[in-house]
């Protein structure tokens, strides 16, 4: 039987306590990254209102801003459109001792651009064929690359988008693309599935996050990051993610309900 999209909750006090403990682990991780001159790149993708902003905020909250950067690029300029597609993203890659978090990335081409007609079919196909090679070059250059897809249900997306409309503090999040998210839900699903099939590779596999419940998703994303990266003084008992919330992509996940249709 297909598993329903999990909305398991966590007690507010338990969430705050666990988050603080995990943020202390993130500080340990950053100190190790700086000392060892590591280059860490983490990509966050997902549907509109998937929880990328909130997850990234909790990751960077107590880290040194000199060695961590969040990249959230706007629409490409005319100059950007005339350049090699990966060119404007390459400028933001991490240097030694840095961790960079992409709030959406070059995968815009496989999602928003494809669905909304901002790129041609030829351009999208070219992207899907070349991105594994591009990511392979990054990894061979010494960058550690993690790719997360935050997956939410259609009902939860609608609830969050409606909340943005009502909350004056979230007005900056509203965009014309948001208004099309529900209308083109099925088209985004098709584009997502093609993206997974073409860009899930051994050098940089996709990790899926069931993100209907924001606190649970945030906690488990941080745990997964900490579990994948080496650092001194790691609290192994704290950083084990819930395998029902964070798990590696597999085609079967599209059939058994682990990933929302």
Span 99-150, pLDDT tens digits = 999 999 999 999 999 999 999 999 999 999 999 999 999 999 999 999 999 9
User: Could you tell me which residues come within 8 angstroms of residue 20 by beta carbon, excluding any fewer than 6 positions away?
Assistant: none
Question: Distance of CA 66 to CAs 63, 95, 167, 181, 238, Å?
Answer: 9, 12, 32, 35, 27
d(CA 45, CA 107): 8
* Burial class (CB within 10 angstroms; exposed 0-12, middle 13-18, buried 19+) of 124: buried
Superfamily the domain 12-76+83-105+129-151+202-254 falls into: P-loop containing nucleotide triphosphate hydrolases (3.40.50.300)
Q: What is the pLDDT of residue 7?
A: 46
pLDDT at 175: 83
For residues 167-174, give the mean pLDDT. Answer: 86
Closest-CA residue to 49 (of 184, 185, 150, 146): 150
Cα–Cα–Cα angle for 185, 261, 114, nearest 5°?
Answer: 45
pLDDT tens column, 76-103 = 999 999 999 999 999 999 999 999 999 9
| Mean pLDDT across 213-234 | 98
Q: Which pLDDT score is estimated for 1? A: 37
Give the DSSP letter of residue 252: G
Where along the chain do its domains lie?
Answer: 12-76+83-105+129-151+202-254
Provide the pLDDT confidence category of residue 204 given band limits of 50, 70 and 90. Answer: very high
pLDDT greater at residue 175 or residue 211:
211
What whole-number percentage of the chain has pLDDT above 70?
Answer: 97
């Amino acid at each position: 039987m297909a598993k329903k999209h999990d909305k398991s909750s966590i007690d507010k006090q338990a969430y705050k306590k666990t988050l603080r403990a995990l943020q202390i682990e993130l500080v340990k991780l950053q100190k190790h990254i700086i000392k060892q001159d590591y280059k860490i790149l983490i990509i966050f993708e997902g549907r509109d209102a998937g929880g990328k902003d909130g997850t990234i905020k909790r990751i960077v909250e107590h880290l040194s801003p000199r060695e961590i950067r969040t990249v959230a690029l706007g629409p490409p300029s005319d100059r950007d459109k005339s350049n090699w597609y990966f060119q404007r993203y390459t400028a933001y890659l991490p240097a030694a001792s840095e961790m960079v978090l992409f709030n959406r990335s070059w995968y815009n081409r496989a999602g928003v651009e494809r669905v909304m007609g901002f790129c041609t079919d030829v351009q999208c196909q070219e992207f899907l064929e070349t991105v594994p090679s591009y990511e392979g070059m990054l990894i061979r250059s010494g960058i550690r690359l993690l790719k997360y897809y935050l997956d939410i249900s259609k009902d939860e997306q609608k609830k969050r988008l409606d909340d943005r409309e009502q909350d004056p503090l979230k007005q900056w999040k509203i965009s014309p693309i948001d208004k099309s998210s529900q209308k083109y839900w099925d088209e985004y699903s098709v584009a997502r599935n093609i993206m997974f099939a073409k860009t899930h590779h051994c050098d940089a596999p996709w990790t899926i996050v069931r993100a209907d419940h924001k606190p649970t998703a945030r906690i488990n994303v941080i745990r997964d990051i900490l579990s994948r990266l080496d650092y001194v003084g790691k609290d192994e008992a704290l950083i084990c993610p819930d395998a029902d919330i964070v798990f590696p992509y597999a085609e079967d996940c599209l059939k058994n309900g682990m990933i929302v249709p």
